[in-house]
Amino acid sequence: MPGYRDFVPRQGFQPTLALSPDARTAAYSSNAGGRFDLWTVPVAGGTPRRLTRLTDQAVRRIAWAPDGRSLVFAADRDGDEQYRLYRIGPDGGDLVEIGAGPRCQRVLPAAPFDAEGRRLVYAANDRDETVQDVLVRDLVDGTEQRFVPPPGVVFQPVGISSDGRWLLTGGFRSHTEVAAYLTDLRDASAAPVCVTADHGGGLFEPGPWAADSSGFYLRTDLWGEFVAGAFYRLATGTLEPVAQHDWDVERIEVAGGTLVWSVNQDGRSTLYARDGDRPLPLPCLPPGVVSALALAPRAEPLVVLLDTATRPAEIAVLDAADGVRYLTDARPRAFTTGMAEPVEPEPVVYPSSAGRYVHALYYRPHTPDPHPVLLSIHGGPEAQERPAYLRSGLYQHLLAQGIAIFAPNIAGSTGYGARHQKLVHRNWGGFDLDDLDHAVCHLRAEPGVDAARIAVMGGSYGGFAALSCLARLPYRWAAGVSLCGPANLVALARACPPTWKHFVAAVLGDPETDAGYLTQRSPITYADTITAPLLVLQGARDPRVPRAESDRLVARLRGRGVDVRYEVFEDEGHGFTDRENELRAYEDIAGFLCGHLLAPAPG
C-alpha cells in the first residue's frame, strides 16, 4: 500500500506566471528546491532553470521587464506577508532590492512596468500601516509618485497604459465592492478618479489595458448575477460587454489584439480566445483549474498553470494543433509507477434551507463500500472547492486508503452567483454552517457511506468552519482537523493585516462594535461541547490567526480530557512556505485521519 509521500507532487507552484517579451521563456515560482524560488523554462521545452536560492523567503509574484533583460518579483519571509521587491537578471545575476525601506507590505501587480520599462508600479503601506497607497517609482533616478486612496478603500495597482499617460488602479472595499480608478500621470497634481462610480456599487475589477490605450478590460456584475467581461472606453466613459456567460468570467488577459478569458463553469476552467473579431481555436482542457496564464499575440504561445484533480499543477503550453504540452512534470510516484489509480470527483447538488441548493464535489474511492467520509471545507470563505490536486496529494492518498471525500461550496463560496457569495458577509457561522449541517444529512442518506465515521477538516476559514461543525452541530464526529483556523472571531478581526481593517469590518465584522455577534459565532465560545479527537496545526508567525488563540483552545479542550494533537510550526505563517514543513503537516494529517476513520466505529 503506497504511503502519503507517494502521492506528493514533485513540486508545487505559486499562482503567478510571466512570459518573456520575446515569448520564448516562461517564469514561475516553484518549491522544487525546497522553498518557493524563481524559475524559468523555455516555452519550446527544455530544462527549467532556478534563478534564486532563497533561505527563508518565498516568491509570490513575478513580472518581466519590457526589454526582457530583467525580472522583478515580490517575496515575503516565513509567511509574514510583508513582501519586498527585487530585480534580477534572466541568468540569475545582479539581484537587487527595489525601494528598500521600512518593513511593510508591498504589492506587485501582474503588469507593473510602463512601456519603456523605466517606471514601476506597486502598492505599499509604508506611510501608514492601515492604508495601502499606490507608488510609481522611477527606476533610473529613484524618485516616486504616491497616490493615496479614499477612506475605507484598499488600492491595488493594475498598470500603466502603453502611451504612458494613465495609471489604472482597483479600489477594494470587499471582494464584491470594487471600483476602477484612473490617474493622469502627465498632470503632476492629478489624483485618482473613480471612473465606474456612475454605474453604482458592485464589482468593477479592472484588468489589462488595450494595446492602443483606448481603454481597459474589467470584470463586472453590472448586468446580472454572474461576473461578465467588459471594456471601459476612455473616450466615452462607457462600459461595453465583451464576454457574458451563465457562469463567472474569472480571468482576462490581453496581448496585442488578442483577448483570452477563462470562465469558471461549475468549478472547471473553460478558455476562450479571439484575435480582433476572429475567434481563435483552443484545445479542450481536462477538467481542472487555470490559476495563471500568460500569452503572446494570436495566443502563440498561450502558457497556463493548469491543475486537475488527477494531475498536480503544471506549467503547460496550449496549442490548437498539439493540445496540452507540459513544460514541467510534477506527477507523484504513486501514479507514474501504477501503485494507485487517481479518482476524479463527481459534481453533486444537494438541498439546503430556504429552498437553496449547494454544489459539491464527491470523491468515491475505488475500494468497496461502505466508506468513511471526510467533509473537507475550503478556505476563504469567498473561494471555491474546484477539481484540483489539493493539499499536496492528501485527497488522493486518503482515497487510496478507502476514505471518501465530500467537498461542498457552501454559502459564501464564489462561482455560484453574487447572492450565494454574499450570504456569508457579516454572517460567519450562519448560512454556511447550515449548509454544512445539510451536507452531513445528505451524506448520512447516501448509499455506500459509513455514517458512523464522518470527519471534518478545513484550513483558514475552513478551519473555523470545521471547528464550528465540531462545536455546534449535533453529530458524533469521528475526528476533526483545523489548519490555521480561527477559533475566536474577535481576535481574528483585531489581528488582521492593518490594510484589511475596513474590508474585514464589511465582510466579517468590526471587533469593537460587533464583538457580541463575533463572540456568539466563535468556536471557542462552544469549546466545552467539542468531544471528537482533534488535530490543530498553527504557524507561529501567522499574521492573521494569532497563535495565542489556538493555544487557548487546545488548553481548554485538554483540560476536559479531549484527545487533541497540537503542532506549531515556528517558521511558518498562514500556510506553508517551506516544502518539508508542508509535507510533514499533511503526512501527520493523513495518519491522524486514517487512524480515526479506518478504525472500527465506536459502538
Structure confidence by residue, pLDDT tens digits, 445-462: 999 999 999 999 999 999
Q: What is the pTM of this model?
A: 0.87
Strand order in the sheet with 13-19: 13-19, 25-30, 37-42, 49-50
User: Residue 102 has which C-alpha cell?
Assistant: 521600512
**Structural domain contains residue 139:** no
Q: What is the CB neighbour count within 10 angstroms for residue 600?
A: 7
By CB neighbour count within 10 A (0-12 exposed, 13-18 middle, 19+ buried), where does 337 fall? exposed
Considering only CA atoms, which of 375, 365, 388 is closest in space to residue 481? 375
DSSP 8-state code for residue 208: E
Considering only CA atoms, which of 124, 27, 106, 104 is closest in space to residue 70? 27
pLDDT (tens digit per residue) in 500-536: 778 788 889 988 899 999 999 999 999 999 999 999 9
User: Residue 571 has which C-alpha cell?
Assistant: 517558521
CB within 8 Å of 366: residues ≥ 6 apart:
341, 343, 399
> What is the predicted pLDDT for the residue at 602?
54
The boundaries of the domain holding residue 582 are 351-597
The CA distances from residue 101 to 197, 328, 419, 428, in Å, are: 35, 36, 42, 37
CB within 8 Å of 443: residues ≥ 6 apart:
373, 375, 406, 449, 451, 454
Q: Cα–Cα distance between 220 and 198 in angstroms, integer?
A: 14
**Residues listed for the chain:** 603
Q: Cα–Cα distance between 589 and 401 in angstroms, integer?
A: 14
DSSP E strand stretches across 139-223: 144-147, 154-160, 166-174, 177-184, 193-194, 204-209, 215-220
* Contact (Cβ atoms closer than 8 angstroms) between residue 346 and residue 446: no
**Structural domain contains residue 311:** no
> What is the predicted pLDDT for the residue at 490?
92
**Structural domain contains residue 567:** yes
**Structural domain contains residue 90:** no
CATH number at residue 495: 3.40.50.1820
> What three-state secondary structure class fits 494?
helix
> What three-state secondary structure class fits 347?
strand
The residues with which 123 forms a beta bridge, in sequence order, are: 107, 134
* Contact (Cβ atoms closer than 8 angstroms) between residue 574 and residue 482: no
User: Residue 206 has which C-alpha cell?
Assistant: 479592472
Q: Cα–Cα distance between 261 and 253 in angstroms, integer?
A: 6
Considering only CA atoms, which of 443, 516, 504 is closest in space to residue 473? 443
Q: Cα–Cα distance between 196 and 46 in angstroms, integer?
A: 45
Q: Cα–Cα distance between 568 and 185 in angstroms, integer?
A: 48
Q: Cα–Cα distance between 14 and 74 in angstroms, integer?
A: 12
Q: Cα–Cα distance between 429 and 454 in angstroms, integer?
A: 20
**Structural domain contains residue 164:** no
**Structural domain contains residue 471:** yes
Helices 431-444 and 461-472, axial angle in degrees (round to 10): 70
> What is the predicted pLDDT for the residue at 600?
66
- The residues of the chain scoring below 70 in pLDDT are 600-603
Considering only CA atoms, which of 13, 124, 106, 29 is closest in space to residue 71? 29
**Structural domain contains residue 402:** yes
DSSP 8-state code for residue 113: B
Which letter, b or e, does each residue of 338-349 get, where b requires 16 or more Cβ atoms within 10 Å of its Cβ? eebebbebeebe
Q: How, if at all, do strands 49-50 and 57-64 pair?
A: unpaired
Q: Cα–Cα distance between 165 and 600 in angstroms, integer?
A: 69
Q: Cα–Cα distance between 504 and 485 in angstroms, integer?
A: 16
Q: Cα–Cα distance between 204 and 47 in angstroms, integer?
A: 40
**Structural domain contains residue 527:** yes
How many structural domains does the chain have? 1
